[in-house]
A = this chain, B = another copy of it.
C-alpha cells in the first residue's frame, strides 16, 4: 500500500466548499477559520496537481476536474463515516459477534439451556459456536480464531485465564441388569474396581478424566469406544455395561429406561466447566460478564433432580 499524501480533512474541506459555494461559508461549517481552510485546500490542489476550484473574486466555480474528483471525494468520506459507524457498533462488546468454542461433552447439554438467557441478556450479541475437542479449541484460541471457549479446567489448556461456570459431578450410569445398579447413594469410586467400563473415543477430555480415575482404582476398559455420550449411553444400556457420565448430560441422557444413575463419592469426581480466554484478550470484562450469565443459567435443577432420584 503506497502512502497517501493527502488527508481526509482536506477532502472534507473541499466538499464543504463545493456545497457551500464559498470559502467563508465552508470554513464556518467546518468550524475553522477561512485562512485555515484556504491553506488546506491550496495544499490539496497542490498535492493532487489539479485545480478543483476556480477562484473568482465574487464566487467559486468548480472546475471540470473538480466535479468528478469531488464526487469521488464524497464517496471516500462516506466510506470513512461508515467505518466509524461500524466501529461504534463494536464499541459495545455485547454488540457484535463473539466466536466461542465448546467441547462436545458439554455443547448439546449446555447450549440449549443457556442460549435463551444469553439471547435475552445480550440481544445484540451474536455468538458463533464452534464444537471441537479441547486440543483443537485450545489451538484455535491460541491463534485468535476464537475469542473464548467453554471447556473443562481439568485438562491442560496452555496459558489462559478463566471464569468458572459450574462444577459438574460425575455419576455412575449402569444398565438395570448390572450389579452396581443397585448400589446405594454416594457409591464410593473404589467400588468400580474390576468393573469393565465403557469410555469415549480418544481426544475427549472427559475420557481422559475417567481414564485417570479408573486406572487409580483398577478398572479395565471395554473394547468399544463411543464417539459421543449419546452413543455411550446406548452402548451401556444395550450391553448391560457400565460407564460414568457428567451430571450435565443427565437432563437428556437419563431418558433411557434401561439406565440406572447412581451418584459417586469418596471422593466425588467432577469436572469444572469454565469459560476460558487468552490473557491478552480485549474482552476480559465482557467475557467475565458472559460467564456470570452462563453460571446463572446453568441447569442446576436437572442435576439436583437426578441426584435425588438416583
Which residues in A have some Cβ–Cβ distance to B below 8 Å?
1-9, 11-12, 15-16, 19, 29-31, 48-51, 54-56, 61-65, 68-69, 72-73, 75-77, 79-84, 86-88, 90-91, 96-99, 143-144, 147, 278, 280-282
Contacts and interface: CB of A to CB of B under 8 A. Distances in A.
Contacts of A63: 144, 147, 282
A77 B3 contact: no
A76 to B, nearest CB: 5
Contacts of A99: 64
A278 to B, nearest CB: 7
Contacts of A55: 280
Contact of A147 (B3, B64, B77, B86): B64
A96 B144 contact: no
Contact of A83 (B49, B62, B76, B147): B76
Nearest to A10: B8
B49 A88 contact: yes
Given A54-B144, A64-B97, A69-B90, A79 B79 contact: yes
A184 to B, nearest CB: 50
B50 A30 contact: no
A88 B84 CA distance: 28
A50 B91 contact: yes
Given A79-B76, A282-B63, A84 B6 contact: yes
Given A4-B9, A73-B83, 10 more contacts: A1-B77, A3-B30, A4-B8, A61-B280, A64-B99, A65-B87, A65-B96, A69-B86, A69-B90, A72-B82
B280 A4 contact: no
Contacts of A147: 63-64
Listed from nearest, the 8 A-B pairs whose CB atoms lie closest are A61-B144, A65-B90, A51-B282, A48-B87, A49-B91, A72-B83, A76-B79, A50-B90
B54 A69 contact: no
